[in-house]
Structure 1
Amino acid sequence: MNGRIAGLVGGLLGVAASSAAVAGLVRARRGGEDPYAGEPLGELVPSRSSTVAADDGVALAVEEVDPERGGRPELTVVLVHGFALSRRSWHFQRKQLAKLTGPRVRQVLYDHRSHGRSARAIPGSARISQLARDLDAVIRAVAPDGPLVLVGHSLGGMTIMELARIHPELFAERVRGVALLATSAGDVGAHGLPRSALSPRNPVPKGVGRLADWQPGFVELVRTAGDGVTRRLTRRLSFGPGEVSPALVRFMTDMLAVTGVAELTEFLNTLGQHNRYAALAGLKHSSVLVLSGDADRLLPFEHAERIAAELPDAELVRAPGAGHMVLLEQPDLVNACLIGLLQRCADGRIEKEKA
């Protein structure tokens, strides 16, 4: 493989694939127990599926989920996934939010271009700025009116920030709430992942020592159950230091396998250039939740603190011991915080109607 592939997937945003050896290692730590062994991860059936055309014609795979118990939704929640993942990564959030009755919510989930079931990005379009326009296209197509809550994990959070920059009127008029999970507004190389790992010109590191610094999840090595050190580092950067369900590890592997390494490398430049602190001003009309794990080795908690410093009214939540995949690793905490945000947004609607 050439330097354009170096360091892309496992080192970038915590969705490093894992091998059967990693799953076996984690299973051994749990004494054979796996709390999610029977969980249908990523297999929940949507209420509706559709395809939305982006402004440049790229086909985006979209799903909608209605309230499980019926009734008119008070809010539409749009879930925007992270790099190298897919809409399936929201399994636990999607499952819990569908059961809500206070407030009832309709969920919209979709795959970024070059991810999941969406079409591959056309040349030159693998940029956060384009992802924000894709998000806007999805909202216009399947949620054209009514109050919104936008929830973004990692790259998804960056996408929401850019949308706030290019369409501040949407946030002023419709976006009641925003949740930013394990994400960053810029300076990605300042903490956690080295900036050099984001350069498509970065040469393949020589030797295990350099590989251990920033390339623990090199996809092809992991998929072929390569070096044992690489497997351990993949596990180390994907999750926090505690025990992790082997089923979750396999689930991540399945998601990652859908999107090719070549497609993912196209996003390196935009991630390395990401700086949207100024765009956070566009969230001033929304109730904001900022949540991150304090064991996230890729986008450490300092990134969440910096976002919260720019948004003094935001709720900042530290997930103790969680890694980058906090939405899978600590779903109960994430769900509780999201439900609290949704309730605040619904209460805000009621207060405005009474005023």
Structure 2
Amino acid sequence: MAERRNYTDAYWWSRDGLRLHYRDYAGPADKPPILCLPGLTRNARDFEMLADRLAGAWRVLCLDFRGRGESAYAKDPMSYVPLTYLQDVEALVHELAIERFVSVGTSLGGIVTMLLAATDRARLAGVVLNDVGPELNPSGLARIRTYVGKAVWHPTWMHAARHVAEAHGDVYPGYGVEEWLCMAKRLYRVNSSGRIVLDYDMKIAEPFRVPGNEAGPDLWPTLDAMRGRPVLVVRGERSDILSAPAAEKMAARLDDAELVTVPGVGHAPALDEPEVIAAMERTLARVR
């Protein structure tokens, strides 16, 4: 039986000539679309459940950053930095003639969202920052550096799921076999040799290994650009990237923000948790 799809695969071109991919879930033209921006090693598939839930009521665009998923790999690995991702997103927004949008950013995607706010706040109709903020916990960044860019492969999806469970069991302690299989199929792809491999360019690790390249400039002022917009800050209770004090400071700095902490979850919440679903509905209801 063919897989049911409620989206269209679409593409755009970066300024330096890369063909980049996004999933386009149809929705009404009289609302700002929702742009979903994934984490460092993740891709558009991370937002499948969120997009399925919102599609029809909202147009949802789920992006693959360069070097991930179905987007082309960069010739220069040093272009794998937030400022370049920002330019790539701006190119898509310009191509689609999007005047305003809601940005949902997980981890790296949240950093790009903050940069979008800094460059042109008028475009932002609303924001969801998933387990990321202007302050990133050094211990969490050190943990990510231990695995990003290390090529691994598996002979079967069950082997891949087992590996993901071993690596992320403390992040999602409530997951069972089905959830780990689902996550494996978001993280991995089948290559031309039939091996199940990570679905990103291993070279994304090169600039990330340089301290300071994770985010770039001081990002606290970018929150000021979000004032007057509905903002949802999501934090995993066990997150080693976004600390509780930093998340509370973010929410306090804004005039229309809600902070939701997902119990028992680390970095980063999957955005399908009941607390997040309810909070996102409240945030989107305030989008004008």
Superposition TM-score tier, normalisation by shorter sequence:
0.7 to 0.9
Partner of 1:340: 282
TM-score for the superposition, normalised by structure 2: 0.80
2:54 is the counterpart of 1:113? no
* Pairing of 1:207-218 with structure 2 (within 5 A): 215=146
Shift of 1:46: 4.4
Q: Per-residue displacement from partner, 1:302-341 (whole Å, max 9, x unpaired)?
A: 442232243253111111122223125x433322222221
Partner of 2:31: 74
Partner of 1:238: 171
Q: Give unpaired runs (5+ residues) of structure 2.
A: 188-197
Which is helix-richer, 1 or 2?
1
In structure 2, the CA distance between the partners of 1:95 and 1:197, relative to structure 1 (3 Å rule), is closer
Q: Which residue among 13, 24, 30 is the counterpart of 1:64?
A: 24
* Pairing of 1:136-215 with structure 2 (within 5 A): 136-145=90-99, 147-165=100-118, 167-168=119-120, 171-172=121-122, 174-189=123-138, 192-193=139-140, 195=142, 198=145, 215=146
Higher relative contact order (CA 8 A, sep 6+): 1
Asked if 2 retains the 8 angstrom alpha-carbon contact of 1:97 and 1:339, the reply is: no
Shift of 1:344: 0.8
Asked if 1 retains the 8 angstrom alpha-carbon contact of 2:236 and 2:261, the reply is: yes
Residues in 2 aligned to 1:231 and 1:110: alpha-carbon distance in whole angstroms: 23
TM-score for the superposition, normalised by structure 1: 0.66
Q: Per-residue displacement from partner, 1:269-302 (whole Å, max 9, x unpaired)?
A: 3217564112222212321111111122344444
Q: Which residue among 38, 52, 67 is the counterpart of 1:95?
A: 52
Residues in 2 aligned to 1:248 and 1:232: alpha-carbon distance in whole angstroms: 9
* Pairing of 1:290-305 with structure 2 (within 5 A): 290-305=233-248
Q: Give unpaired runs (5+ residues) of structure 1.
A: 1-39, 199-214, 350-355
In structure 2, the CA distance between the partners of 1:217 and 1:250, relative to structure 1 (3 Å rule), is farther
Secondary structure of the residue aligned to 1:271 is coil
**Aligned AA (1:177):** G
Secondary structure of the residue aligned to 2:72 is coil
Residues in 2 aligned to 1:220 and 1:58: alpha-carbon distance in whole angstroms: 23
- How many pairs align? 270
Partner of 2:75: 122
Residues in 1 aligned to 2:205 and 2:149: alpha-carbon distance in whole angstroms: 12
Partner of 2:199: 258
Secondary structure of the residue aligned to 1:318 is strand
Residues in 1 aligned to 2:29 and 2:14: alpha-carbon distance in whole angstroms: 28
Q: Cα RMSD between the aligned structures?
A: 3.1
Partner of 1:53: 13
**Aligned AA (1:91):** E
Secondary structure of the residue aligned to 2:270 is helix
Secondary structure of the residue aligned to 1:290 is strand
Residues in 2 aligned to 1:188 and 1:139: alpha-carbon distance in whole angstroms: 31
Which is strand-richer, 1 or 2?
2
In structure 2, the CA distance between the partners of 1:221 and 1:175, relative to structure 1 (3 Å rule), is closer
> Taking every aligned residue pair, what percent have the same amino acid on both sides?
24
Larger Rg: 1
Residues in 2 aligned to 1:248 and 1:217: alpha-carbon distance in whole angstroms: 22
Residues in 2 aligned to 1:115 and 1:152: alpha-carbon distance in whole angstroms: 16
Asked if 1 retains the 8 angstrom alpha-carbon contact of 2:11 and 2:19, the reply is: yes
In structure 2, the CA distance between the partners of 1:264 and 1:78, relative to structure 1 (3 Å rule), is same
